[in-house]
Each structure stands twice: as structure tokens, then as C-alpha cells.
């Protein structure tokens, strides 16, 4: 094997490549996979506005002053809720911006630390993605209104509800009617009740299982 010449340039490290691609002006092609395409002018509002209308995550490579531009940031998060992570800290705390972001992607509620306890924001987030319930403040995971909306969107969100709501018949019934995979997260009495309900349904469909057998199978359901 030929010896490497002293004059050969040292290849850039992964970190160096990522840092270079994250400079203002570079537009991400796909999440986690930056493209080498360059913005004509990352400090031009007109240019950045056009780019975020195509891909909200292009906000990542706008000049810092434009990440503080509320109108522009709203365009970005309405296109892709995850663009919220690239907004200025001030706008990450702005309720209008956060509402627009979670309406697009409920899970980005995790980025809005100052608003995870806001019921209006929580309701919009869990309506878009029930699993956003896990990012809500503790008192909202114990709120029947929020939990109901969450489990109606995704029954498995029952996993993130408070113990009290996991024993709330209205919430558990909504979750199980939505998705039987929510069964392991129901309170003991309601879980037993639903094992019997589901066993009965199975028998009606020709699944001749004893309640105990059905319960053992249902208890193994995973998310």
C-alpha cells in the first residue's frame, strides 16, 4: 500500500462537514440529510421567505435576524412544525407561533417549554397527534378534556395520561374503542372489564377463547 503523501489534504471530520452545512445559506434537502444547495442571500427576507414556503426547515439556514421575524417564522412552522426549533428563543415562547407549529405537528410541543402547561396549546397539539400528551405538563395529563382529545386521536396516548385518568371510564372507553393496544395502560378494574368486552367480541367473530386466555393475549399487546 502506497504511503500517504504529506501534501495530501486531511479529509474533514463529520462534525466539520455538519458545521459547514449548518451555516447560513445552506438549505436542508431532507430532515437529517442536509443538501449542499446554497441560498442566494440568507439575509434577504424575500429569499428566505421563498425558501421556507417550499420547505419550512430552510429556516435553519436563514440569517439570525430573520429567525426573529415573526411573520416569516409563522410561514415556516405552518409548512413544517419542526421548524420551530430554528426560531429565535423569543418566538419559541410566542403563543401564536407555537399554536401554528403544534397544529402542523403536535409532537413539537416538546420544543415549547414555556407553553407545555397551556391548555389551549395542549388541546391543539394532542388533536393533531395524541402522543403529544407525553409532552404536556403534569396537570394537563390529569385533565379529562385534554386526555379525551388525545386518546380519541390515538388510543395509545392513554399510556401518558395520569393514573387518575387511566381509571377514568370515559377516557379509557374512548381509548379502547379507538385502539385495543391501549389495554395495558387502563386501570386494573377497567382493564378487566375491557378484557371481558373484547373476549366477547372475539367469540362473536368465532374466536372461541376463554376469558383468561384472551386476557393473557391482550395483556401482551405492546405499543
Q: pLDDT digit string (tens) for 85-104?
A: 999 999 999 999 999 999 99
User: Residue 93 falls within a domain, yes or no?
Assistant: yes
b/e sequence 174-193, b meaning 16+ C-beta within 10 Å: bbbebbbbbbebbbeebbeb
Choose one of 115, 130, 153: the last residue of a domain: 115
Higher pLDDT, 218 or 22: 218
User: Residue 7 falls within a domain, yes or no?
Assistant: no
> Structure pTM?
0.76
Name 59's Cβ contacts closer than 8 Å, sequence gap at least 6. 48, 52, 66, 67, 72, 73, 76, 83, 86, 87
Domains held by the chain: number? 2
Gap between the Cα atoms of 24 and 64, Å rounded: 8
Higher pLDDT, 10 or 60: 60
Q: Do 127 and 109 reside in the same domain of the chain?
A: no
Q: Do 150 and 195 reside in the same domain of the chain?
A: yes
- Residue 81: is its pLDDT beyond 70? yes
Gap between the Cα atoms of 10 and 203, Å rounded: 69
55 lies in which domain range? 14-115
Per-residue DSSP letters for 88-110?
-HHHHT-HHHHHHHHHH-GGGGG
Gap between the Cα atoms of 193 and 198, Å rounded: 9
Q: Do 54 and 93 reside in the same domain of the chain?
A: yes
C-alpha cell at 222: 405492546
Q: Residue 24: its pLDDT value, please?
A: 55
Q: Which residues, in sequence order, are bridge partners of residue 52?
A: none
Q: Do 103 and 145 reside in the same domain of the chain?
A: no
Average pLDDT over residues 69-78: 97
Gap between the Cα atoms of 54 and 25, Å rounded: 15
Amino acid at each position: 500500500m502506497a504511503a500517504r503523501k504529506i501534501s495530501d489534504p486531511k479529509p474533514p471530520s463529520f462534525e466539520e462537514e455538519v458545521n459547514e452545512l449548518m451555516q447560513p445559506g445552506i438549505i436542508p434537502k431532507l430532515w437529517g440529510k442536509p443538501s449542499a444547495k446554497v441560498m442566494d442571500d440568507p439575509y434577504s427576507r424575500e429569499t428566505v421567505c421563498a425558501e421556507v414556503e417550499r420547505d419550512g426547515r430552510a429556516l435553519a439556514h436563514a440569517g439570525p435576524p430573520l429567525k426573529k421575524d415573526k411573520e416569516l417564522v409563522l410561514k415556516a412552522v405552518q409548512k413544517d412544525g419542526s421548524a420551530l426549533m430554528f426560531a429565535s428563543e423569543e418566538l419559541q415562547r410566542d403563543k401564536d407561533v407555537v399554536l401554528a407549529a403544534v397544529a402542523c405537528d403536535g409532537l413539537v410541543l416538546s420544543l415549547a417549554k414555556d407553553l407545555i402547561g397551556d391548555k389551549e396549546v395542549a388541546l391543539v397539539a394532542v388533536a393533531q397527534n395524541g402522543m403529544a400528551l407525553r409532552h404536556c405538563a403534569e396537570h394537563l395529563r390529569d385533565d379529562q378534556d385534554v386526555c379525551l382529545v388525545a386518546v380519541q386521536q390515538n388510543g395509545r396516548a392513554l399510556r401518558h395520561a395520569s393514573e387518575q385518568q387511566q381509571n377514568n371510564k370515559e377516557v379509557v372507553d374512548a381509548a379502547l374503542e379507538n385502539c385495543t393496544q391501549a389495554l395495558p395502560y387502563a386501570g386494573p378494574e377497567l382493564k378487566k372489564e375491557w378484557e371481558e368486552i373484547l373476549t366477547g367480541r372475539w367469540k362473536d367473530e368465532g374466536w372461541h377463547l376463554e376469558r383468561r386466555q384472551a386476557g393473557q393475549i391482550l395483556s401482551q399487546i405492546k405499543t
